[in-house]
Structure 1
Amino acid sequence: MSASAIFILDLKGKVLICRNYMGDMDMNEIDHFMPILNKREEDAEVSPLVCHGSAHFLFIKHSNLYLVAMTKKNANAALVYSFLYKIIQVFKEYFKELEEESIRDNFVTVYELMDEVMDFGFPQTTDSQILQEYITQEGHKLEVGAPRPPATVTNAVSWRSEGIKYRKNEVFMDVIESVNLLVSATGSVLRSEILGSIKLKVVLSGMPELRLGLNDKVLFEITGREKSKTVELEDVKFHQCVRLSRFENDRTISFIPPDGESELMSYRLNTAVKPLIWIESVIEKFSHSRVEIKVKARSQFKSRSTANNVAIMVPVPSDADSPKFKTSTGSAKWVPEKNVVQWNIKSFPGGKEYIMRAHFGLPSVESDELEARRPITVNFEIPYFTVSGIQVGTFNHQPADLIPLLCFTNASFHIHTRLRCCIDGNVNVMLIIDFKALPWVRYITQSGDYQLRTN
């Protein structure tokens, strides 16, 4: 069981929209939510759960709204929060931004969505692509007779419509990894993890069957290739289209994909990561009137890769002024509202080292208070590279009207396709076409929470 009712409140606790799904609770109980929450904040008590008698409120604050689920039963809290975050995602895909104004401007659509995403306390269809097939922001015409649900909802494959046809069948895949890193002032790595996702853009006809293989450690152990280069994936989450039983048996990701863009899977690797971009900084103060900062940046990945749009944020004293910069590459600028120097390097090849010097003036009166040293943060993106070493091994596609075999190699892949040519309506010719195409798999590594502490 999920929730008896869902409320959307403004920051003052006023109900903007609500939906009573079970009718087993007094809806006026929501009036107790905000006073209890305010008292807890005054007492510095932080909790995502508020209780009043037998009423339990599980809530999320998003922008200038509170999304609150009310229940009096022993509900599955993880399911409730997962549902709340999911409907936030649905609303954002409908209205671009989810805030009080977008709720007020689209309350009819919001009510329709709330009716579809949950029924009698049980989550139902929460895929925005399916919802957009029959809930639009345009007026609905009156239909004669009993309304029929869209075919997608009643299909065995609820995330994909039948009868999809394209003149050109293509699949695009992005393997994106974000690196979270915290390095101490002495140079030791205090925290490192990799958050990855595989995203698809599918332009295929019919109901295609796709199979995907990764250099996963468990898969290679099953197939007797323990010595091959592998990665050990943790916290793997799949789109609902993936056949979990098949993955558990032989680690093959088999699925009928949604049409268009979707996230196939996400994963995490809690592993030691060598800093891809290493930063050294030295700060010198001279007679309390000026400060000089020297920053050295070194890329610690292979020369065949290049980091793009590198931004290195170096903290400076809050009372600094009159900046002067000198860089061996790129450009530097002072961002006074953040008290940082931002050093921008458009292209940073592997195995290179660059230097930036900054000079600031300081007030003649020295403050007795010592200012805490903030860490240096780095933003970057490295295309055609994954820090974990994950690779797409095989990618097979078998649509109903075409029977191709896609085999990825290092440079390109071949598509062997059987096409039936019709003459006067009769199938009498079978052609085998073999051609090369550009790779459709991209690998991208980007910075997440990437920080290096300074002395």
Structure 2
Amino acid sequence: MACSAIYFLDMKGKVLISRNYRGDIDNSVIDKFIGLVNELDDDNNMTPLIKTEECTFAFIKHSNVYVVATTRKNSNVSMLFSLLHRICQVMKEYFKEVEEESIRDNFVICYELLDELLDFGYPQTTDAKILQEYITQEGYKLEVAAKIPSTVTNAVSWRSDGIKYRKNEVFLDVIESVNLLAGASGNVLRSEIVGAIKMRVYLSGMPELRLGLNDKVLFESTGRGKSKSVELEDVKFHQCVRLSRFENDRTISFIPPDGEFELMSYRLNTHVKPLIWIESVIERHDHSRIEIMVKAKSQFKRRSTANNVEIMIPVPSDADSPKFKTTIGHCKYAPEQNAVVWTIKSFPGGKEYLMKAHFGLPSVVGDITEGKPPINVKFEIPYFTTSGIQVRYLKIIEKSGYQALPWVRYITQNGEYQLRTQ
């Protein structure tokens, strides 16, 4: 993958900063970009990829700026988009928000980063922690060039030498998001689990970690096929993981970056039983009132508890004079969202709660073409995973032989969790 140039533009298409890496495309081509975007927008055919005779534009919109890569080659487009997002992520590490004003205020740092992130259009060091070792906020004031750390040229470019901690600890979070769409009749139309293993590593030296999961492929290859295991799909690893080792014997072996990072992500395209089931009866009486009754039921084990549950029930845009009655939690009318928000701080497994709402409707007939938006649910269930994934072991090996404490936590939360209404 090689890109010719990177541009940051404001919403009118004016270039804020740019870096031409290869010189094979004239800088003037970017002047046509905003016109091409507006044409696509007018045709309702918006796409993040625009091909012209001179080049191909790949772009993302971040806050109030366009981040654009141009290329003449048959590049790997998914890698281009990944690079654009990575550039924004690195800049966020430096000045919190990537927007027009922050780019203008930090253009010296932006140019230094663009010089280090890519070389002749090829991605180089994209780890913010390593970049911060030699590109500092006051970097442009230095009279002597900063010494580039050896990690940039080391085999382990994501971790510095000589890290020391008084207390060696590893925190590992297994976080699963449940995406679910259920029909009004109660059938699950779409469901999947999107998971990530996130780590915070505070270890001295250059440790090697080995992580064991209840991976179905591993269990079957070692004759434990009947044990509880999980078949992971679309697995993506941080660059520190030794992929050849994983492909050979499913061992997740790695020298971790220092601090916080995402070790891996995965997906399970599987039938998920709704963790929180919602039944609703919505009666609309034209010219007078609308009555809503909602029953929420937790369909997970009693020993687990969902925290900060938020159920958003849509109401007509012309509703007024709200009245609520509920067996638990509290309700509020959110007119800016045309919804009732029912909040339950703690929702134990195997429980069922009711909420009734009454709204007045004005004498003017509402828009009969108004759709029926789904009910949205937010929640977080600690110490629980929907997929059943388990961390079987986390071994920490370091030549000095110190003892380290690994801490593992499981969390299940909502993704796009929607239930259609009658």
TM-score range for the pair, normalised by the shorter chain length: over 0.9
In structure 2, what residue type is equivalent to 1:17? I
Residue of structure 2 in register with 1:289 after alignment: 288
Mapping of 1:388-403 within 5 angstroms?
A: 388-403=387-402
How big is the shift at 1:372?
A: 1.4
**Residues 286 and 45 of structure 1: CA distance in aligned 2, closer, same or farther (over 3 Å):** closer
Shift of 1:53: 2.0
Equivalent position of 1:149 in the other structure: 148
Instruction: Verify the 8 A CA contact 1:5 1:20 in the aligned structure 2.
Output: yes
Identity of aligned residues (%): 70
Counterpart for residue 265 of structure 2: 266
Match of 1:327 in 2: 326
SS in 2 for 1:337: helix
Report 1:234-253 matches (<5 A). Answer: 234-253=233-252
User: For the structure 1 residues 355 and 277, does the alpha-carbon distance in structure 2 shift closer, same or farther, using more than 3 Å as the test?
Assistant: same
Alignment of 1:180-219 (within 5 A): 180-219=179-218
Determine if the alignment matches structure 1 residue 166 to structure 2 residue 133.
no
Residue by residue over 1:315-350, the C-alpha shift from the partner in whole angstroms, topping out at 9 and shown as x without a partner, is: 111111111111100000100111100000000000
| In 2, Cα distance between equivalents of 1:90 and 1:279 | 41
* Matches of 2:53 and 2:321, distance apart in 1: 61
Q: How many residue pairs get matched?
A: 421
- 1:32/1:52 contact within 8 Å kept: no
2:288 partner amino acid: S
Number of the residue aligned with 2:418: 451
Code of the aligned partner of 1:247: F
Distance in 2 of aligned mates of 1:283 and 1:64:
40
Deviation at 1:287, TM superposition (A): 6.2
Distance in 2, Cα, partners of 1:240 & 1:105: 32
**What is the rounded CA distance, in whole Å, between the counterparts of 2:244 and 2:69 in structure 1?**
32
SS in 2 for 1:40: helix
Counterparts of 1:247 and 1:330, CA distance in 2: 47
Within 1, Cα distance between the matches of 2:17 and 2:47? 23
Residue 337 of structure 2 is aligned to residue 341 of structure 1: no
Deviations 1:224-271 (A, max 9, x none): 100011111011010011000110111110000111111100001110
Q: What is aligned with 2:47?
A: 47
Q: Tell which deviates more after alignment, 243-252 or 75-84.
A: 75-84
Distance 1:37 1:12 in 2: 11
Q: Taking structure 1 as the reference length, what is the TM-score of the superposition?
A: 0.90
Query: Could you tell me how far apart the structure 2 residues matched to 1:349 and 1:297 are?
Result: 12
CA distance in 1, matches of 2:367, 2:84: 48
Find the residue that maps to 1:360 and give its secondary structure: strand
Out of 364, 388, 407, the residue aligned to residue 440 of structure 1 is: 407
Code of the aligned partner of 1:103: I
Q: Offset of 1:79 from its aligned partner?
A: 1.9
Verify the 8 A CA contact 2:276 2:296 in the aligned structure 1.
yes
- Alignment gaps of 5+ in structure 1: 405-414, 416-436
- How far residue 49 of structure 1 moved from its aligned partner, in angstroms, is 2.1
5+ residue gaps, structure 2: none
Contact kept? 2:286, 2:365, Cα under 8 Å: no
1:189 partner letter = V
Is the 1:397–1:403 Cα contact (8 Å) retained in structure 2?
A: no
Residues 1:228 and 2:195 are matched in the alignment: no
Residues of 1 paired with 2:23 and 2:290: CA distance?
67
- Asked if 1:87 is matched to 2:87, the reply is yes
CA distance in 1, matches of 2:345, 2:49: 46
State the distance in 1 between where 2:100 and 2:381 align: 38
The structure whose RCO (Cα within 8 Å, separation 6+) is larger is 2
Once the 2 structures are TM-superposed, how far is the Cα of residue 368 of structure 1 from its aligned partner?
6.1
Q: Are the counterparts in 2 of residues 2 and 79 from structure 1 also a CA contact under 8 Å?
A: no
The one-letter code of the counterpart of 2:96 is K
Distance change >3 Å, CA 316–CA 367, structure 1 → 2: closer
The answer for the alignment partner of 1:14 in structure 2 is 14
- The corresponding residue for 2:62 is 62
Give the letter for the 1:339 counterpart.
Answer: N
Determine the C-alpha separation between the residues in 2 that align with 1:249 and 1:89: 33
1:277 alignment partner AA = I
The CA deviation at 1:286 is: 4.2
Q: Please give the TM-score of this superposition, normalised by the length of structure 2.
A: 0.97
Partners of 2:200 and 2:366 in 1: CA distance: 57
Structure 2 CA distance for aligned equivalents of residues 235 and 10 of structure 1? 35
Aligned mates of 1:287, 1:392 — CA distance in 2: 56
Q: For 1:381, give the aligned amino acid.
A: E
Amino acid at match of 2:414: S
Tell me, in whole angstroms, the C-alpha distance in 1 between the residues paired with 2:336 and 2:6: 40
1:398-426 alpha-carbon deviations (Å, 9 max, x no partner): 1222254xxxxxxxxxx7xxxxxxxxxxx
CA offset digits 1:76-114 (Å, max 9, x no partner): 222211111111111122221111111111100000000
- Kindly provide the CA deviation profile for residues 272-311 of structure 1, in whole angstroms up to 9, marking residues without a partner as x: 0000000001112346311211110000000000000000
AA aligned opposite 1:175: V
Matched residue SS, 2:235 = strand
For residues 368 and 213 of structure 1, what CA distance do their matches in structure 2 show?
56
Q: Secondary structure at the match of 1:24?
A: coil
Give me the whole-angstrom Cα distance separating, in 1, the residues matched to 2:166 and 2:366: 71
Would you say the 8 A contact 2:207–2:255 is kept in 1? yes
How far apart, in 2, do the equivalents of 1:49 and 1:359 lie? 48
Secondary structure of 2:66's aligned partner: strand
Q: Structure 2 CA distance, aligned partners of 1:359 and 1:169? A: 56
